[in-house]
Amino acid sequence: MLEIKDLHVSYGAIKAVKGISFEVREGEIVTLIGANGAGKSTTLRTISGLEATAGGTITFMGQNINNMPPHKIVELGISHVPEGRRVFTNLSVIDNLKLGANLRKDKEAVKKDMKKVFELFPILEKRQNQLAGTLSGGEQQMLAVGRALMTKGKLMLLDEPSMGLAPMIVENIFEIIKEINNEGTTILLIEQNAYMALSIADRAYVLETGNIVLEGSASDLAENDEIKKAYLGA
Amino acid sequence: METFLQLLIYGLQLGSIYALIALGYTMVYGIIGLINFAHGDFLMVGAFVALFAVTLFGLGFVPALLISMIITGLLGVSIERIAYKPLRKRPRLSALITAIGVSIVLENFPRALPFIGPAPRPFPQMIPMVKFNVLGVSTNSVQLIMIALSVLLMVMLQIIVTKTQIGRKMRAVSLDKDAASLMGINVNSVISVTFFIGASLAAAGGIFYASTYPMIDVYMGIVLGLKAFIAAVLGGIGNIPGAMVGGIIMGIAEIFATSINSDLGYGIGFVILIFILLVRPAGIMGKFTIEKV
Protein backbone atom coordinates (compact mmCIF):
# COMPACT_ATOMS: atom_id res chain seq x y z
CA MET A 1 0.00 0.00 0.00
CA LEU A 2 2.78 2.39 1.00
CA GLU A 3 6.27 1.83 -0.27
CA ILE A 4 9.27 3.95 0.72
CA LYS A 5 12.45 3.42 -1.29
CA ASP A 6 15.80 4.94 -0.38
CA LEU A 7 14.21 8.04 1.13
CA HIS A 8 16.48 10.98 1.95
CA VAL A 9 15.35 14.12 3.76
CA SER A 10 17.51 17.08 4.77
CA TYR A 11 17.00 20.25 6.76
CA GLY A 12 19.55 22.50 5.12
CA ALA A 13 22.90 20.80 5.61
CA ILE A 14 21.56 18.39 8.23
CA LYS A 15 20.58 14.99 6.87
CA ALA A 16 17.67 13.81 8.96
CA VAL A 17 16.77 10.68 6.99
CA LYS A 18 19.55 8.87 5.14
CA GLY A 19 18.14 6.47 2.62
CA ILE A 20 15.54 4.38 4.40
CA SER A 21 13.28 1.83 2.75
CA PHE A 22 10.22 0.18 4.18
CA GLU A 23 6.71 -0.79 3.28
CA VAL A 24 3.28 -0.90 4.82
CA ARG A 25 0.87 -3.52 3.48
CA GLU A 26 -2.87 -3.12 3.44
CA GLY A 27 -4.53 -3.93 6.78
CA GLU A 28 -1.32 -3.91 8.81
CA ILE A 29 -0.19 -1.97 11.83
CA VAL A 30 3.43 -1.10 11.21
CA THR A 31 5.53 0.78 13.71
CA LEU A 32 8.75 2.74 13.41
CA ILE A 33 10.50 2.89 16.74
CA GLY A 34 13.59 4.78 17.73
CA ALA A 35 15.00 7.42 20.00
CA ASN A 36 14.58 11.19 19.77
CA GLY A 37 16.13 12.57 16.61
CA ALA A 38 16.18 9.23 14.81
CA GLY A 39 14.14 10.71 11.95
CA LYS A 40 10.76 9.17 12.73
CA SER A 41 8.67 12.34 12.64
CA THR A 42 10.56 13.61 9.62
CA THR A 43 9.71 10.41 7.79
CA LEU A 44 5.99 10.81 8.51
CA ARG A 45 6.04 14.51 7.66
CA THR A 46 7.69 13.71 4.35
CA ILE A 47 5.11 11.05 3.49
CA SER A 48 2.40 13.66 4.13
CA GLY A 49 4.15 16.23 1.95
CA LEU A 50 5.07 18.62 4.77
CA GLU A 51 8.79 18.15 4.08
CA ALA A 52 10.43 17.91 0.68
CA THR A 53 12.32 14.75 -0.27
CA ALA A 54 16.01 15.00 -1.10
CA GLY A 55 16.00 11.64 -2.85
CA GLY A 56 14.17 8.34 -3.13
CA THR A 57 10.53 7.60 -3.85
CA ILE A 58 7.30 7.39 -1.89
CA THR A 59 4.64 5.30 -3.56
CA PHE A 60 1.09 5.13 -2.24
CA MET A 61 -1.36 2.68 -3.87
CA GLY A 62 0.84 2.52 -6.95
CA GLN A 63 1.14 6.27 -7.33
CA ASN A 64 4.29 8.30 -6.77
CA ILE A 65 3.46 10.99 -4.21
CA ASN A 66 6.90 12.59 -3.89
CA ASN A 67 6.61 16.31 -3.20
CA MET A 68 2.87 16.44 -3.81
CA PRO A 69 1.17 19.24 -1.82
CA PRO A 70 -0.15 17.92 1.52
CA HIS A 71 -3.80 18.56 0.77
CA LYS A 72 -3.57 16.38 -2.38
CA ILE A 73 -2.01 13.55 -0.38
CA VAL A 74 -4.89 13.72 2.11
CA GLU A 75 -7.25 13.51 -0.84
CA LEU A 76 -5.53 10.31 -2.02
CA GLY A 77 -6.27 8.71 1.35
CA ILE A 78 -3.47 9.32 3.83
CA SER A 79 -4.54 10.83 7.12
CA HIS A 80 -1.98 12.06 9.62
CA VAL A 81 -2.26 12.59 13.36
CA PRO A 82 0.63 14.97 13.94
CA GLU A 83 3.06 15.01 16.82
CA GLY A 84 1.83 17.12 19.72
CA ARG A 85 -1.83 16.68 18.58
CA ARG A 86 -2.00 20.11 16.90
CA VAL A 87 -5.77 20.43 17.28
CA PHE A 88 -7.25 23.80 16.34
CA THR A 89 -7.48 25.21 19.85
CA ASN A 90 -9.39 28.29 18.68
CA LEU A 91 -12.21 26.18 17.23
CA SER A 92 -14.87 24.07 18.91
CA VAL A 93 -14.54 20.30 19.03
CA ILE A 94 -17.29 19.88 16.46
CA ASP A 95 -15.68 22.44 14.13
CA ASN A 96 -12.38 20.54 14.38
CA LEU A 97 -14.16 17.38 13.30
CA LYS A 98 -16.01 19.18 10.50
CA LEU A 99 -12.70 20.46 9.17
CA GLY A 100 -11.43 16.89 9.06
CA ALA A 101 -14.25 16.16 6.64
CA ASN A 102 -13.81 19.31 4.60
CA LEU A 103 -12.94 17.46 1.38
CA ARG A 104 -15.87 15.10 1.53
CA LYS A 105 -19.05 15.77 -0.40
CA ASP A 106 -21.29 12.98 0.90
CA LYS A 107 -22.96 14.69 3.88
CA GLU A 108 -24.77 11.52 5.04
CA ALA A 109 -21.55 9.53 5.23
CA VAL A 110 -19.87 12.38 7.09
CA LYS A 111 -22.69 12.37 9.63
CA LYS A 112 -22.34 8.63 10.06
CA ASP A 113 -18.61 8.93 10.60
CA MET A 114 -19.11 11.74 13.08
CA LYS A 115 -21.41 9.39 15.03
CA LYS A 116 -18.75 6.71 14.90
CA VAL A 117 -16.11 9.09 16.24
CA PHE A 118 -18.45 9.95 19.10
CA GLU A 119 -18.93 6.22 19.77
CA LEU A 120 -15.17 5.71 19.94
CA PHE A 121 -14.67 8.81 22.06
CA PRO A 122 -17.87 9.55 24.02
CA ILE A 123 -16.16 12.39 25.87
CA LEU A 124 -15.87 14.34 22.58
CA GLU A 125 -19.62 14.25 22.12
CA LYS A 126 -20.09 15.73 25.59
CA ARG A 127 -17.58 18.44 24.85
CA GLN A 128 -18.55 19.09 21.23
CA ASN A 129 -19.30 22.79 21.68
CA GLN A 130 -16.28 23.49 23.85
CA LEU A 131 -13.17 25.11 22.37
CA ALA A 132 -10.58 22.44 21.66
CA GLY A 133 -8.04 24.47 23.63
CA THR A 134 -9.98 23.82 26.82
CA LEU A 135 -9.66 20.02 26.53
CA SER A 136 -7.19 17.98 28.55
CA GLY A 137 -4.15 16.46 26.82
CA GLY A 138 -5.79 13.05 26.50
CA GLU A 139 -9.00 14.55 25.13
CA GLN A 140 -7.01 16.58 22.62
CA GLN A 141 -5.27 13.41 21.46
CA MET A 142 -8.67 11.77 21.02
CA LEU A 143 -9.81 14.78 19.04
CA ALA A 144 -6.67 14.63 16.89
CA VAL A 145 -7.40 10.96 16.11
CA GLY A 146 -11.09 11.68 15.57
CA ARG A 147 -10.29 14.55 13.25
CA ALA A 148 -7.97 12.33 11.21
CA LEU A 149 -10.69 9.65 11.05
CA MET A 150 -13.04 12.24 9.57
CA THR A 151 -10.73 12.61 6.56
CA LYS A 152 -11.59 8.94 5.82
CA GLY A 153 -8.06 7.95 4.90
CA LYS A 154 -7.16 4.39 3.95
CA LEU A 155 -3.82 4.77 5.71
CA MET A 156 -3.45 6.59 9.01
CA LEU A 157 -0.08 7.95 10.15
CA LEU A 158 0.16 8.37 13.92
CA ASP A 159 3.00 10.40 15.37
CA GLU A 160 3.67 9.72 19.08
CA PRO A 161 0.06 9.35 20.22
CA SER A 162 1.24 8.49 23.75
CA MET A 163 3.30 11.64 24.22
CA GLY A 164 2.66 13.37 27.53
CA LEU A 165 -0.33 11.21 28.48
CA ALA A 166 -1.06 9.25 31.64
CA PRO A 167 -0.54 5.45 31.31
CA MET A 168 -4.25 4.67 31.58
CA ILE A 169 -5.11 7.06 28.80
CA VAL A 170 -2.29 5.68 26.67
CA GLU A 171 -3.78 2.18 26.98
CA ASN A 172 -7.16 3.54 26.04
CA ILE A 173 -5.77 5.30 22.96
CA PHE A 174 -3.90 2.17 21.86
CA GLU A 175 -7.03 0.05 22.20
CA ILE A 176 -8.81 2.49 19.95
CA ILE A 177 -5.97 2.42 17.43
CA LYS A 178 -6.41 -1.37 17.30
CA GLU A 179 -10.12 -0.95 16.83
CA ILE A 180 -9.61 1.54 14.00
CA ASN A 181 -7.28 -0.98 12.37
CA ASN A 182 -9.83 -3.80 12.80
CA GLU A 183 -12.36 -1.69 10.95
CA GLY A 184 -10.11 -1.60 7.91
CA THR A 185 -7.72 1.34 8.26
CA THR A 186 -4.06 0.56 7.76
CA ILE A 187 -1.81 2.13 10.40
CA LEU A 188 1.73 3.43 10.40
CA LEU A 189 2.62 4.29 13.98
CA ILE A 190 5.71 5.91 15.38
CA GLU A 191 6.42 5.82 19.06
CA GLN A 192 9.04 6.31 21.68
CA ASN A 193 6.98 4.04 23.88
CA ALA A 194 8.34 0.96 22.07
CA TYR A 195 6.67 -1.47 24.44
CA MET A 196 3.18 -0.20 23.66
CA ALA A 197 3.90 0.10 19.98
CA LEU A 198 5.26 -3.46 19.66
CA SER A 199 2.32 -4.82 21.62
CA ILE A 200 -0.21 -3.80 18.98
CA ALA A 201 1.89 -3.81 15.78
CA ASP A 202 2.23 -6.56 13.20
CA ARG A 203 5.66 -5.51 11.99
CA ALA A 204 8.27 -3.03 13.16
CA TYR A 205 11.29 -1.12 11.91
CA VAL A 206 13.95 0.32 14.20
CA LEU A 207 15.32 3.70 13.17
CA GLU A 208 18.64 5.08 14.41
CA THR A 209 20.05 8.45 13.31
CA GLY A 210 18.34 8.38 9.95
CA ASN A 211 18.93 4.70 9.12
CA ILE A 212 16.88 1.54 9.57
CA VAL A 213 18.99 -0.82 11.66
CA LEU A 214 16.54 -3.63 12.33
CA GLU A 215 13.25 -4.91 11.04
CA GLY A 216 10.98 -7.83 11.66
CA SER A 217 7.69 -8.96 13.09
CA ALA A 218 6.69 -7.01 16.18
CA SER A 219 6.67 -10.12 18.37
CA ASP A 220 10.22 -11.08 17.28
CA LEU A 221 11.54 -7.59 17.92
CA ALA A 222 9.89 -7.51 21.34
CA GLU A 223 12.03 -10.58 22.20
CA ASN A 224 15.21 -9.16 20.66
CA ASP A 225 17.88 -8.55 23.30
CA GLU A 226 19.23 -5.36 21.78
CA ILE A 227 15.76 -3.90 21.53
CA LYS A 228 14.99 -4.91 25.07
CA LYS A 229 18.08 -3.15 26.27
CA ALA A 230 17.77 -0.02 24.18
CA TYR A 231 14.01 0.60 24.16
CA LEU A 232 12.19 -1.60 26.57
CA GLY A 233 14.24 -0.87 29.65
CA ALA A 234 14.94 -4.55 30.36
CA MET B 1 -25.92 67.33 23.96
CA GLU B 2 -26.84 68.12 20.36
CA THR B 3 -23.25 68.89 19.50
CA PHE B 4 -22.24 65.67 21.17
CA LEU B 5 -24.68 63.62 19.08
CA GLN B 6 -23.69 65.52 15.97
CA LEU B 7 -20.02 64.73 16.52
CA LEU B 8 -20.86 61.17 17.42
CA ILE B 9 -22.55 60.53 14.09
CA TYR B 10 -19.59 61.97 12.19
CA GLY B 11 -17.29 59.89 14.35
CA LEU B 12 -19.30 56.75 13.62
CA GLN B 13 -19.11 57.39 9.92
CA LEU B 14 -15.36 57.93 9.88
CA GLY B 15 -14.90 55.10 12.36
CA SER B 16 -16.78 52.60 10.23
CA ILE B 17 -14.47 53.45 7.33
CA TYR B 18 -11.42 52.91 9.52
CA ALA B 19 -12.94 49.66 10.70
CA LEU B 20 -13.43 48.36 7.15
CA ILE B 21 -9.81 49.08 6.32
CA ALA B 22 -8.47 47.83 9.66
CA LEU B 23 -10.16 44.47 9.01
CA GLY B 24 -7.85 43.81 6.08
CA TYR B 25 -4.75 44.55 8.13
CA THR B 26 -5.90 42.30 10.91
CA MET B 27 -7.04 39.41 8.70
CA VAL B 28 -3.80 39.34 6.72
CA TYR B 29 -1.76 39.58 9.90
CA GLY B 30 -3.85 36.81 11.44
CA ILE B 31 -3.30 34.44 8.56
CA ILE B 32 0.32 35.00 7.47
CA GLY B 33 1.75 37.20 10.22
CA LEU B 34 2.48 40.04 7.81
CA ILE B 35 1.72 43.73 8.30
CA ASN B 36 0.71 44.46 4.74
CA PHE B 37 1.90 48.03 4.32
CA ALA B 38 0.41 48.11 0.85
CA HIS B 39 -3.07 47.60 2.31
CA GLY B 40 -3.82 51.33 2.56
CA ASP B 41 -3.25 51.64 -1.17
CA PHE B 42 -6.02 49.15 -1.89
CA LEU B 43 -8.54 51.74 -0.75
CA MET B 44 -7.09 54.22 -3.25
CA VAL B 45 -7.32 51.61 -6.02
CA GLY B 46 -10.89 50.92 -4.98
CA ALA B 47 -11.82 54.59 -5.15
CA PHE B 48 -10.26 55.00 -8.60
CA VAL B 49 -11.89 51.88 -10.00
CA ALA B 50 -15.25 53.19 -8.78
CA LEU B 51 -14.48 56.61 -10.26
CA PHE B 52 -13.87 55.08 -13.69
CA ALA B 53 -16.83 52.73 -13.39
CA VAL B 54 -19.06 55.76 -12.85
CA THR B 55 -17.49 58.32 -15.18
CA LEU B 56 -16.53 56.06 -18.09
CA PHE B 57 -19.20 53.38 -17.94
CA GLY B 58 -21.99 55.33 -16.32
CA LEU B 59 -22.60 52.68 -13.66
CA GLY B 60 -24.67 53.39 -10.56
CA PHE B 61 -23.46 53.23 -6.98
CA VAL B 62 -24.12 49.57 -6.23
CA PRO B 63 -22.62 48.07 -9.41
CA ALA B 64 -19.64 50.44 -9.15
CA LEU B 65 -19.10 49.38 -5.54
CA LEU B 66 -19.31 45.67 -6.39
CA ILE B 67 -17.02 45.91 -9.42
CA SER B 68 -14.51 47.94 -7.48
CA MET B 69 -14.54 45.44 -4.61
CA ILE B 70 -14.02 42.53 -7.00
CA ILE B 71 -11.21 44.17 -9.01
CA THR B 72 -9.41 45.39 -5.89
CA GLY B 73 -9.88 41.98 -4.29
CA LEU B 74 -8.29 40.29 -7.30
CA LEU B 75 -5.44 42.80 -7.17
CA GLY B 76 -4.90 41.83 -3.54
CA VAL B 77 -4.82 38.14 -4.47
CA SER B 78 -2.30 38.71 -7.29
CA ILE B 79 -0.04 40.83 -5.09
CA GLU B 80 0.03 38.07 -2.47
CA ARG B 81 0.82 35.44 -5.12
CA ILE B 82 3.53 37.48 -6.84
CA ALA B 83 5.17 39.40 -4.02
CA TYR B 84 4.48 37.69 -0.67
CA LYS B 85 4.04 33.98 -1.35
CA PRO B 86 7.64 33.38 -2.49
CA LEU B 87 8.81 34.91 0.80
CA ARG B 88 6.47 32.98 3.08
CA LYS B 89 9.20 30.78 4.53
CA ARG B 90 11.75 33.60 4.74
CA PRO B 91 12.31 35.89 7.72
CA ARG B 92 9.34 38.16 8.33
CA LEU B 93 11.36 41.28 7.65
CA SER B 94 11.75 40.34 3.96
CA ALA B 95 8.01 40.30 3.40
CA LEU B 96 7.60 43.51 5.39
CA ILE B 97 10.12 45.35 3.22
CA THR B 98 8.48 43.88 0.12
CA ALA B 99 5.14 45.24 1.32
CA ILE B 100 6.62 48.73 1.52
CA GLY B 101 7.93 48.25 -2.02
CA VAL B 102 4.52 47.13 -3.24
CA SER B 103 3.02 50.19 -1.62
CA ILE B 104 5.43 52.51 -3.45
CA VAL B 105 4.58 50.82 -6.75
CA LEU B 106 0.84 51.04 -6.14
CA GLU B 107 1.09 54.77 -5.41
CA ASN B 108 3.50 55.79 -8.11
CA PHE B 109 2.56 53.59 -11.03
CA PRO B 110 -0.92 55.11 -11.38
CA ARG B 111 0.62 58.51 -10.81
CA ALA B 112 2.62 58.00 -14.00
CA LEU B 113 -0.41 56.92 -16.01
CA PRO B 114 -1.76 59.82 -18.07
CA PHE B 115 -5.41 59.09 -17.30
CA ILE B 116 -4.81 59.12 -13.55
CA GLY B 117 -1.85 61.37 -12.84
CA PRO B 118 -0.74 63.05 -9.65
CA ALA B 119 -3.46 65.70 -9.39
CA PRO B 120 -6.45 65.18 -7.09
CA ARG B 121 -9.69 64.26 -8.84
CA PRO B 122 -13.21 65.09 -7.77
CA PHE B 123 -15.18 62.01 -6.82
CA PRO B 124 -18.71 61.89 -8.22
CA GLN B 125 -21.74 62.12 -5.96
CA MET B 126 -23.25 58.68 -6.48
CA ILE B 127 -26.06 58.77 -3.96
CA PRO B 128 -28.60 61.60 -3.99
CA MET B 129 -27.88 63.85 -1.02
CA VAL B 130 -30.96 64.35 1.14
CA LYS B 131 -30.40 66.31 4.31
CA PHE B 132 -32.56 65.93 7.34
CA ASN B 133 -32.76 66.86 10.98
CA VAL B 134 -33.41 64.45 13.78
CA LEU B 135 -33.67 65.90 17.31
CA GLY B 136 -31.61 68.90 16.28
CA VAL B 137 -28.89 66.73 14.80
CA SER B 138 -28.36 67.24 11.10
CA THR B 139 -27.46 64.27 9.01
CA ASN B 140 -27.89 63.16 5.42
CA SER B 141 -28.69 60.18 3.25
CA VAL B 142 -25.05 59.60 2.22
CA GLN B 143 -23.87 59.47 5.79
CA LEU B 144 -26.56 57.07 6.93
CA ILE B 145 -26.22 54.79 3.92
CA MET B 146 -22.44 54.61 4.38
CA ILE B 147 -22.76 53.68 8.03
CA ALA B 148 -25.45 51.11 7.25
CA LEU B 149 -23.42 49.54 4.44
CA SER B 150 -20.29 49.38 6.60
CA VAL B 151 -22.22 47.64 9.34
CA LEU B 152 -23.73 45.26 6.78
CA LEU B 153 -20.30 44.34 5.40
CA MET B 154 -18.93 43.77 8.89
CA VAL B 155 -21.86 41.58 9.89
CA MET B 156 -21.42 39.58 6.68
CA LEU B 157 -17.72 39.13 7.41
CA GLN B 158 -18.43 38.03 10.95
CA ILE B 159 -20.92 35.44 9.69
CA ILE B 160 -18.46 34.18 7.07
CA VAL B 161 -15.67 33.82 9.61
CA THR B 162 -17.67 32.20 12.40
CA LYS B 163 -20.37 30.18 10.66
CA THR B 164 -19.12 28.93 7.31
CA GLN B 165 -16.68 26.23 6.21
CA ILE B 166 -14.35 28.78 4.56
CA GLY B 167 -14.39 30.73 7.84
CA ARG B 168 -13.46 27.60 9.79
CA LYS B 169 -10.67 26.99 7.29
CA MET B 170 -9.40 30.55 7.68
CA ARG B 171 -9.29 30.20 11.45
CA ALA B 172 -7.57 26.83 11.19
CA VAL B 173 -4.96 28.12 8.74
CA SER B 174 -4.29 31.17 10.89
CA LEU B 175 -3.60 28.91 13.87
CA ASP B 176 -1.60 26.10 12.29
CA LYS B 177 -0.85 25.82 8.57
CA ASP B 178 0.67 22.34 8.74
CA ALA B 179 -2.20 20.87 10.71
CA ALA B 180 -4.67 22.59 8.36
CA SER B 181 -3.01 21.09 5.30
CA LEU B 182 -3.20 17.65 6.96
CA MET B 183 -6.97 18.10 6.98
CA GLY B 184 -6.83 18.42 3.21
CA ILE B 185 -7.18 22.20 3.33
CA ASN B 186 -5.49 24.00 0.45
CA VAL B 187 -3.63 26.59 2.51
CA ASN B 188 -2.70 28.75 -0.48
CA SER B 189 -6.26 29.15 -1.63
CA VAL B 190 -7.42 30.01 1.89
CA ILE B 191 -4.74 32.72 2.05
CA SER B 192 -5.92 34.01 -1.34
CA VAL B 193 -9.51 34.20 -0.12
CA THR B 194 -8.31 36.16 2.91
CA PHE B 195 -6.46 38.67 0.74
CA PHE B 196 -9.49 38.95 -1.52
CA ILE B 197 -11.81 39.76 1.36
CA GLY B 198 -9.33 42.17 2.98
CA ALA B 199 -8.64 44.11 -0.21
CA SER B 200 -12.29 44.27 -1.23
CA LEU B 201 -13.27 45.64 2.19
CA ALA B 202 -10.56 48.27 1.80
CA ALA B 203 -12.01 49.16 -1.61
CA ALA B 204 -15.42 49.64 -0.01
CA GLY B 205 -13.80 51.77 2.70
CA GLY B 206 -12.08 53.88 0.04
CA ILE B 207 -15.32 54.45 -1.83
CA PHE B 208 -17.20 55.34 1.37
CA TYR B 209 -14.43 57.76 2.30
CA ALA B 210 -14.42 59.36 -1.14
CA SER B 211 -18.21 59.69 -1.04
CA THR B 212 -17.83 61.80 2.10
CA TYR B 213 -14.65 63.70 1.30
CA PRO B 214 -14.98 63.78 -2.49
CA MET B 215 -11.41 64.43 -3.61
CA ILE B 216 -9.19 61.46 -4.41
CA ASP B 217 -5.54 61.13 -5.37
CA VAL B 218 -2.98 58.35 -5.56
CA TYR B 219 -1.62 59.10 -2.10
CA MET B 220 -4.94 59.06 -0.27
CA GLY B 221 -4.20 55.59 1.11
CA ILE B 222 -1.12 56.57 3.07
CA VAL B 223 -2.63 58.51 5.95
CA LEU B 224 -5.94 56.65 5.92
CA GLY B 225 -4.11 53.34 5.86
CA LEU B 226 -1.90 54.42 8.72
CA LYS B 227 -4.90 55.41 10.84
CA ALA B 228 -6.66 52.15 10.06
CA PHE B 229 -3.48 50.30 11.00
CA ILE B 230 -3.50 52.09 14.35
CA ALA B 231 -7.15 51.04 14.70
CA ALA B 232 -6.17 47.42 14.07
CA VAL B 233 -3.38 47.59 16.68
CA LEU B 234 -5.74 49.35 19.08
CA GLY B 235 -8.30 46.57 18.77
CA GLY B 236 -5.66 43.85 18.91
CA ILE B 237 -3.99 42.92 15.65
CA GLY B 238 -5.20 39.58 14.33
CA ASN B 239 -8.55 39.96 16.07
CA ILE B 240 -11.52 40.67 13.78
CA PRO B 241 -14.04 42.15 16.27
CA GLY B 242 -11.07 44.08 17.70
CA ALA B 243 -10.48 45.78 14.35
CA MET B 244 -14.12 46.85 14.20
CA VAL B 245 -14.08 48.26 17.73
CA GLY B 246 -10.66 49.87 17.21
CA GLY B 247 -11.87 51.55 14.01
CA ILE B 248 -14.97 53.00 15.63
CA ILE B 249 -12.98 54.29 18.63
CA MET B 250 -10.41 55.87 16.32
CA GLY B 251 -13.07 57.59 14.22
CA ILE B 252 -14.96 58.99 17.19
CA ALA B 253 -11.79 60.11 18.97
CA GLU B 254 -10.55 61.83 15.83
CA ILE B 255 -13.77 63.73 15.23
CA PHE B 256 -14.03 64.86 18.86
CA ALA B 257 -10.39 65.93 18.89
CA THR B 258 -10.85 67.79 15.60
CA SER B 259 -13.77 69.71 17.09
CA ILE B 260 -11.33 71.06 19.66
CA ASN B 261 -8.44 71.69 17.32
CA SER B 262 -7.90 70.34 13.81
CA ASP B 263 -4.22 69.55 14.38
CA LEU B 264 -5.15 67.62 17.46
CA GLY B 265 -7.52 65.59 15.29
CA TYR B 266 -4.64 64.59 13.06
CA GLY B 267 -2.41 63.62 15.94
CA ILE B 268 -4.88 61.91 18.26
CA GLY B 269 -4.44 58.56 16.52
CA PHE B 270 -0.76 58.52 17.34
CA VAL B 271 -1.45 59.54 20.94
CA ILE B 272 -3.87 56.61 21.18
CA LEU B 273 -1.28 54.30 19.63
CA ILE B 274 1.41 55.28 22.12
CA PHE B 275 -1.03 54.98 24.99
CA ILE B 276 -2.23 51.52 23.98
CA LEU B 277 1.30 50.26 23.41
CA LEU B 278 2.23 51.40 26.90
CA VAL B 279 -0.82 50.13 28.72
CA ARG B 280 -2.02 47.12 26.77
CA PRO B 281 0.35 46.22 23.96
CA ALA B 282 -1.79 43.33 22.73
CA GLY B 283 -4.70 45.73 22.08
CA ILE B 284 -8.18 45.92 23.54
CA MET B 285 -9.33 42.47 22.44
CA GLY B 286 -5.98 40.88 21.77
CA LYS B 287 -4.66 38.09 23.89
CA PHE B 288 -1.16 38.07 25.21
CA THR B 289 0.50 35.13 23.55
CA ILE B 290 3.79 33.55 24.31
CA GLU B 291 5.94 32.92 21.29
CA LYS B 292 6.45 29.17 21.16
CA VAL B 293 9.76 27.69 20.09
Rounded average pLDDT over B278-292: 74
Rounded average pLDDT over A49-64: 93
Query: By three-state DSSP, how is residue A18 classified?
Result: strand
**Chain B closest CA to A145's CA: distance in Å?**
12
Mark yes or no for CB contact B179/A102 under 8 Å.
no
Which residues does chain B have within 8 Å of residue A100's beta carbon, measured at their own beta carbons? Answer: 183
Q: Mean pLDDT in chain B? A: 92
Please indicate if any CB of chain B lies within 8 Å of the CB of A181. Answer: no
**Range with the poorest average pLDDT among A62-66, B60-64, B95-99, B130-134:** B130-134
Q: Which residues contact B192 (CB under 8 A, 6 or more apart)?
A: B77, B80, B81
Would you say residue A112 has pLDDT above 50? yes
pLDDT digits (tens, 9 = 90+) for A117-126: 999 999 999 9
Would you say residue A233 has pLDDT above 80? no
**Chain A closest CA to B161's CA: distance in Å?**
11
Comparing alpha-carbon positions, the chain B residue that sits nearest to A73 is: B184
Sheet (strand A203-208) strand order: A78-81, A155-159, A186-191, A29-33, A203-208, A211-217
**Range with the poorest average pLDDT among A84-88, A227-231, B31-35:** A227-231
Domain B2-279: give its CATH code.
1.10.3470
Please indicate if any CB of chain A lies within 8 Å of the CB of B186. Answer: yes
pLDDT of residue A46: 95
Would you say residue A54 has pLDDT above 50? yes
Please indicate if any CB of chain B lies within 8 Å of the CB of A83. Answer: no
pLDDT digits (tens, 9 = 90+) for A174-207: 999 999 999 999 999 998 888 889 999 999 999 8
Contacts with A, B 194-253, CB within 8 Å: none
The alpha carbon of residue B286 and the mean position of all alpha carbons in its chain are separated, in whole angstroms, by 18
Cα–Cα distances (Å) from B106 to B46, B112, B186, B243, in that order, read: 12, 11, 29, 24
Strands (E), chain A: 2-11, 14-24, 29-33, 55-60, 63-64, 78-81, 155-159, 186-191, 203-208, 211-217
Domain limits, chain A: 2-231
Band of residue B288 on the pLDDT scale cut at 50, 70, 90: low
Rounded average pLDDT over A218-232: 80
pLDDT of residue B289: 56
* pLDDT > 70 fraction of chain B, expressed in percent and rounded: 98
Which residues does chain A have within 8 Å of residue B186's beta carbon, measured at their own beta carbons? Answer: 69, 71
Would you say residue B28 has pLDDT above 90? yes
Mark yes or no for CB contact A71/B187 under 8 Å.
yes
Interface test with A, best of B182, B285, B287 (most A CBs within 10 A): B182
Q: Which residue has the higher pLDDT, B22 or B134?
A: B22
Mark yes or no for CB contact A89/B175 under 8 Å.
yes
Mark yes or no for CB contact B172/A88 under 8 Å.
yes
Band of residue A163 on the pLDDT scale cut at 50, 70, 90: confident
The CATH architecture of the domain made up of A2-231 is: 3-Layer(aba) Sandwich (3.40)
Mark yes or no for CB contact B179/A82 under 8 Å.
yes
Residues A147, A143: Cα–Cα separation, whole Å: 6
Q: Tell which phi-psi region holds residue B45, choosing left (phi > 0), alpha (psi between -120 and 50) or beta.
A: alpha
Band of residue A132 on the pLDDT scale cut at 50, 70, 90: very high
Mark yes or no for CB contact B183/A147 under 8 Å.
yes
Band of residue A35 on the pLDDT scale cut at 50, 70, 90: confident
pLDDT of residue B138: 87
User: Could you report the predicted ipTM of this complex, rounded to two decimals?
Assistant: 0.90
Please indicate if any CB of chain A lies within 8 Å of the CB of B293. Answer: no
pLDDT of residue B293: 44
| Closest CB to A88 among B176, B186, B187 | B176
Comparing alpha-carbon positions, the chain B residue that sits nearest to A89 is: B175
pLDDT of residue B185: 95
Please indicate if any CB of chain B lies within 8 Å of the CB of A70. Answer: yes
**Range with the poorest average pLDDT among A119-123, B204-208, B280-284:** B280-284
pLDDT of residue B284: 86
Which pairing describes strands A2-11 and A155-159: parallel, antiparallel, or unpaired?
unpaired
